[in-house]
Structure 1
Amino acid sequence: MDFKTLKTFQMIVKYGSFARAAKEMNYVQSTVTMQIQKLELDLGVQLIERGHGKEFRLTEAGRLFHDQSMQIVKNMEQIQTSLSNLQLGETGHIRIGVTEPTGSYRLPGILKEFMSMYPNIRISLEYANTPTLTERILSGELDFSLCSAPDIGNDLYFEPLFQEEFVALMPEDHPLTLKAVLAPEDIRGYRLLITAETCPYRRRLEMVMQETGNLSLDTMEIGSMTALKFFVENGLGIALIPKIIAEPAAAGTTIRTISGKLIYMTFGILCKASAYPLQLASQKLYQYLKLHLSEQSTL
């Protein structure tokens, strides 16, 4: 007893005709007849009583078999559709890692459009910094991530997509508002709000500050990149943050551009080198993100 035979039996009952069932299944009628004969032989019961001409009726066993096999046929059809969609990349579960501010400021709108196009694709998001996401990718817990460039080495593939522009955000009465453009050395002597020690941007910030001779700074560590602006609003210091977070400037704060190496930081898509190019649904989402994120900035 196989799925095709079950479906043939259901079609015969549905249309009340061996000939119509054969047409719908794209079989010759003799094939349908042989399938039903074999099905009855396998089950050891008669399912259909043939009358004169094309007439037939279901036996009691036939009615029972019809009722209980109907859901089996529906389930198998659903499985076939799901497997077909999987091969086309139109179903599946994708696990993505993402850093801020992309996760909160760019991704929701893009994913809304993508998921309306592919409603059978399920997406899970994990928010973390680049080092943590790198470990999760290497361990196989994430399919890919949207983050800054990882440390050189490891089994990783990184494709740059856009440059995150950073600006200085400060209280509107801060002395540095007198300058139209800030250089890294201008920050000396003022409290700088910084992200966690593991944040790649903070590491870069500290490296640039060392190059300019600013080895010791008055800093206050805030564990969230997106939270920095709220601490600036309350006059706790200045922060160098992505422009997309800073704009529009909240009441009581002012934005200034930054010169030198702190202007941009490259962000892109990170995955295992051995997993690239990605497959099925992950590849569809990868290409969609690549298109829409790269539109937002040029490298």
Structure 2
Amino acid sequence: MDLKTLKTFQMIVKYGSFIRAAQELNYVPSTVTMQIQKLESELGVQLIARGKEISLTEAGRLFYDQSLQIVKNMEQLQTNISDVKSGEAGHIRLGVTEPTASYRLPRILSKFMSRYPNIHISIEVSNTPALSERILKGEIDFALSTAPGLGADFYFEPLFQEEFVVVMPENHPLALKEAIGPGDFRGYRLLITSKTCPYRRMLEMVMQEIGNVTMDTMEIGSMTALKFYVEWGLGIALVPTIMVDSETKGTTVRSISGSLIHMTYGILCKDSAYPFQLASQKLYSYLKKELVSHYQ
């Protein structure tokens, strides 16, 4: 049996007439008759008792009741498949690093998911090395992150530069300066992220370039937590500018002289996965438009 035959059977029951069902379905009456005969043959039971007026047999009543949900489910399945093919539905596994995970993505996804309510998104928040590994394993579809390591089988599209500022306690000696240079960190505790964090690796490279400045450091595993440790006088920290739009109580913010540190941020996926398809393409295009327009 197929969906067309089930719909034909339901139309006969609805109108109590083979001829009326044929008219509603734009079939010739013989087509309707052949469909029901074939259906009854496949089931091995009579569904409709013919006469001056047609009526359902006991098997016909059972079949009708059960077929209503079957047709409803099949029509919904067809709609879902059509939505997936057009990119209007699907499930996307998205990786993202901080601070974008907390400070940018919620606003963007709120608008995107209002526009595409049938696209479901799972969010994995981690650092770039961990997200890169999960992409290669097929555990996430693509990520918003910094650039991956060299030699990997990735496609990376840069979107904007993540700029940094220095956050320090408001009574810190460096607060007297208008801008902070690399050499100014000497003699003060610097709060840094974990060894696997690309932001930390960039900072270490910059410090080596200016003469291997020895630093007193304290490792904090979360970038978003850095400014709160600064608030309690535990040190100074370099954090993305977006995290200090509203200054944390008891702290002050200074710009960085020159171009001490910035990171290229963009969209990362397996090379073989680009260009994206279906729902992923819609999310990719939306993320790109939102992020580029705000941070160019």
Q: TM-score range by the shorter chain?
A: over 0.9
The amino acid across from 1:37 in the alignment is: Q
Once the two structures are superposed, what CA deviation does each residue of 1:20-70 show, in whole Å capped at 9, x if it has no partner?
A: 433443433322221112112222222122333xx4221222111101222
**Letter aligned with residue 279 of structure 1:** Q
> Contact 1:208/1:261 (CA < 8 Å) preserved in 2?
no
Of 249, 269, 272, which aligns to 2:270? Answer: 272
Alignment of 1:214-225 (within 5 A): 214-225=212-223
Between the aligned partners of 1:202 and 1:24, the Cα distance in structure 2 is 70
2:158–2:264 contact (8 Å) kept in structure 1: yes
Residue in structure 2 matched with residue 57 of structure 1 by the alignment: 55
Q: How does 1:85-96 map to 2 (within 5 A)?
A: 85-96=83-94
Corresponding residue of 1:22: 22
- Check 1:7–1:255 CA distance in 2 against 1; reply closer, same or farther (3 A cut): same
Distance verdict in 2 for CA 1:263–1:202, change over 3 Å: closer
Which residue is 2:163 aligned to? 165
Instruction: Give the residue type in structure 2 aligned to 1:31.
Output: T
2-side partners of 1:26 and 1:266: how far apart?
A: 61
Shift of 1:279: 1.2
- Measure the CA separation in 2 of the matches of 1:113 and 1:139: 30
Give, in whole Å, the separation in 2 of the partners of 1:259 and 1:26: 77
8 Å CA contact 2:108, 2:287 repeated in 1? yes
> Per the alignment, do residues 68 and 159 of structure 1 end up closer, same or farther by CA in structure 2, a change over 3 Å counting?
same
The 3-state SS of whatever aligns with 2:223 is coil
Matched AA of 1:42: E
- Alignment identity in percent? 71
Aligned amino acid, residue 34 of structure 2: M
SS in 2 for 1:83: helix
Gaps of 5+ in 1: none
3-state SS in 1 of match to 2:224: coil
Look up the equivalent residue of 1:6 and give its one-letter code: L
2:8 aligns with: 8
1:28 and 1:264, CA in 2 relative to 1: closer, same or farther beyond 3 A? farther
Match of 1:187 among 175, 185, 188: 185
- The one-letter code of the counterpart of 1:21 is A
Report SS of the residue matched to 1:226: helix
Deviation per residue, 1:186-214 (Å, 9 max, x gap)? 11111110000100010000000111114
3-state DSSP of counterpart to 2:167:
strand
- Asked if the contact 1:184–1:260 (Cα under 8 Å) also holds between the matched residues in 2, the reply is no
Query: How does 1:203-282 map onto structure 2 within 5 Å?
Result: 203-282=201-280
- C-alpha distance 149-6 of structure 1, shift in aligned 2 (>3 A): same
Q: Which of residues 85, 101, 106 is equivalent to 2:99?
A: 101
Distance change in 2, residues 1:143/1:167 (3 Å): same
Aligned residues: 296
- d(CA) in 2 for partners of 1:75 and 1:213? 69
Structure 1 match to 2:112:
114
Q: Which residue of 2 aligns with 1:149?
A: 147
Q: State how far apart, in whole Å, the 2-side matches of 1:26 and 1:258 are.
A: 75
Report the CA distance between 1:12 and its aligned residue. Answer: 2.1
CA contact (8 A) 1:149 1:266 kept: yes
Q: Deviations over 1:81-130 (max 9, x none)?
A: 11111111122211111100000111111111111222221111111110
Q: Does the residue aligned with 2:156 lie in a helix, a strand or coil? A: strand
Q: 1: CA distance between counterparts of 2:116 and 2:217?
A: 46
Q: Distance in 2 between matches of 1:210 and 1:71?
A: 69
1:252/1:106 CA distance change after superposition, 3 Å: same
Distance between the aligned counterparts of 2:185 and 2:51, measured in 1?
96
CA distance in 1, matches of 2:277, 2:251: 46
